């Protein structure tokens, strides 16, 4: 009996320490998930946020400020809290429009550039209520151009508990 009690005194605290460590790791690793966040570049004030998952699609719908033609950019949300630009579709060429990114084709009157695969930690711009039509997450409108103050410097980013870990550990 005495041997059994001493083994319990040694084993039970070890098991408790391991269980608590696993619970803490699980809590830090899971967290509340990822958020798509639009914030003011100068003050870091969050203007809008929405829960997202890895693989979700974010689409910018623009009207080119000079050419006045549609411009659509399609990104995916990555596990390392970055955006990957896959496709740009634009109704023509003009000032600031890339001419040769990825695989280029003409589809339904639009110049479509696919397989771009450029990675961005965040997307920054000086907001225009007339140039931005909307940003959508799948089929859900995240914001419209009118939702944000005209000429406000903004930043779109992905935030989550994963930012507790150095990004270099996530990408290795």
For 74-96, what is each residue's pLDDT tens digit?
Answer: 999 999 999 999 999 999 877 77
pTM for the whole structure: 0.74
CB atoms under 10 Å from CB of 145, counted, come to 18
Burial class (CB in 10 A: 0-12, 13-18, 19+), 101: middle
Q: What is the pLDDT of residue 3?
A: 61
Cα separation, 63 vs 68, in Å, equals 6
Residues 6+ apart with CB under 8 A from 109: 91
Q: Are 57 and 44 in contact (CB under 8 A)?
A: no
For the ranges 33-47, 54-68, 92-106, 131-145, which has the lowest average pLDDT? 92-106
For 106-148, what is each residue's pLDDT tens digit?
Answer: 999 999 999 999 999 999 999 999 999 999 999 999 999 999 9
């Amino acid at each position: 009996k005495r041997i059994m009690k001493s083994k319990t005194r040694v084993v039970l605290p070890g098991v408790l320490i391991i269980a608590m460590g696993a619970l803490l790791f699980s809590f830090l690793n899971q967290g509340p998930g990822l958020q798509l966040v639009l914030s003011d570049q100068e003050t870091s004030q969050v203007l809008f946020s929405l829960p997202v998952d890895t693989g979700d699609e974010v689409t910018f719908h623009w009207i080119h400020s000079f050419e006045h033609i549609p411009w659509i950019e399609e990104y995916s949300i990555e596990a390392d809290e970055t955006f990957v630009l896959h496709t740009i579709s634009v109704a023509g060429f003009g000032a600031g429009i890339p001419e040769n990114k990825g695989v280029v084709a003409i589809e339904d009157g639009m110049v479509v550039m696919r397989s771009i695969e450029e990675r961005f930690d965040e997307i920054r711009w000086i907001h225009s209520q007339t140039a931005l039509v909307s940003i959508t997450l799948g089929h859900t409108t995240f914001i419209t151009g009118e939702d944000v103050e005209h000429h406000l410097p903004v930043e779109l980013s992905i935030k989550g508990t994963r930012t507790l870990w150095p990004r270099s550990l996530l990408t290795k």
